[in-house]
Amino acid sequence: VAIHGLSNVNLSSLLVSKEYVLAMVFSLVEYFFELLLFPGLKEIWWVSNLGLVMVVVGEIVRKLAIVTAGRSFTHLIRVNHEDHHRLVTSGVYAFVRHPSYCGFLIWSVGTQLMLCNPISTVGFAVVVWRFFASRIPYEEYFLRQFFGADYEEYARTVPSGVPFVM
Ligand SMILES: C[S@@+](CC[C@H](N)C(=O)[O-])C[C@H]1O[C@@H](n2cnc3c(N)ncnc32)[C@H](O)[C@@H]1O
């Protein structure tokens, strides 16, 4: 996003919150705790490899979304329409309406599978899903205001990309 230059990228774009740091710390504590008490759990290679595949796939999907949307992609949800903001429906956006969220969900659960962290795998899936399940209706409220019938039609024919979120 910083490369295409004209977007507003600042520290808040990183979206690093207290909750985010807490999740990372919890994940590390779980990893070392289980490594000490149940070392065999950390050697289930196929779970770890599945996690690695998810990390790579999730990262690719998210980056494709960012590159495809170009200047229409902002880290903070736009609440005012700007002239250069175009509705993007091509590339990965032709398959799902929220490819960067879909990619992030896959990536985040993948990181915990890679570490063979059972508690954090479920925890990350639930927390990240809940975050996007509440963010998507808010984001789409503004997209409907900006693009009207075009967005209605797009939303009617293309799934959100986040499970159980219409
Ligand atoms: C963090 S980006 C996420 C984009 C999208 N939700 C995704 O997961 O790929 C949020 C910004 O993208 C814009 N946006 C989301 N979907 C869009 C689309 N199909 N076309 C243009 N802008 C979009 C929103 O207005 C918002 O400011």
Tens of pLDDT, residue by residue over 135-166, are 999 999 999 999 999 999 999 999 999 999 99
Task: Give the ipTM.
Answer: 0.98
CA 122 remoteness from chain centre: 16
Give the pTM.
0.92
Residues written for the chain:
166
Q: What is the pLDDT of residues 54-103, one digit of tens each?
A: 999 999 999 999 999 998 998 889 999 988 899 999 999 999 999 999 99
- Residue 86 and residue 70 in contact, taking contact as beta carbons nearer than 8 Å: no
In angstroms, what is the span from residue 151 Cα to ligand 1's centroid? 12
Ligand 1 centre distance from Cα of residue 21 (Å): 25
- Cβ–ligand 1 distance for 101 under 6 Å, the answer yes
Tell how far the Cα of 72 is from the centroid of ligand 1, in angstroms. 7
Ligand 1 within 6 A of 165 CB? no
CB atoms within 10 A of CB 137: 11
